[in-house]
Amino acid sequence: VQLVESGGGLVQAGGSLRLSCAVSGSTFSINAMGWYRQAPGKKRELVGIISAGGNTNYAHSVKGRFTISRDNAKKTAYLQMNSVKPEDTAVYYCHGDILGFSNRQIGYWGQGTQVTVSS
C-alpha cells in the first residue's frame, strides 16, 4: 500500500491550492484519512481528518479556510486550501488507516509535499 501526495507548490498569500492523496495497492477498505503538516523546526501537527463516512474535523488554525474531502471510488483524499497564509508553509503529509484483506488495520503515511506561501 502506498499513499502519494501531489499538488504542492508555491502560492501567494490569500491564494488557493489543492492537495491530493492517492492510495494505491491492495486494500479492503480505507477508514479515516488525515492531513498533517510540519514546518521547519516544529513538530508535525494535525490539519484535519475525514472519516470513511465523510465527517470532518479541523485544527482551529485552518477551520473555515481548509476543506478535506474524499472520493472513495478513486481512493483519493483532497485538501482544499483557501486564503492561505505564510504560516501555512510546511510539508504536508497524508495519513490513512487502511484495512487489509488480512483484517488488520495499519496506518500509512505519504512522502509529503511542500507548500510554500509567499507574503
pLDDT at 102 over 90: no
pLDDT of residue 42: 97
pLDDT band at 103 (very low <50, low <70, confident <90, very high): confident
Looking at residues 9-23, what average pLDDT do you find?
98
What pLDDT, on the 0 to 100 scale, is given for residue 2? 95
Dist. CA 72–CA 95, nearest whole Å? 15
Residue burial 28-62, b: 16+ Cβ < 10 Å; e: rest: eebebbbbbbeeeeeeeeebbbbeeeeeeebeeeb
Share of the chain above pLDDT 90, in %: 92
> Cα-flanking dihedrals φ and ψ of residue 86, to 5°?
-55, -30
Q: In which band, very low, low, confident or very high, does the pLDDT at 101 lie, cut at 50, 70 and 90?
A: confident
Query: Do residues 3 and 65 make contact, with C-beta atoms less than 8 angstroms apart?
Result: no
- Phi/psi of residue 67, each to 5°? -135, 130
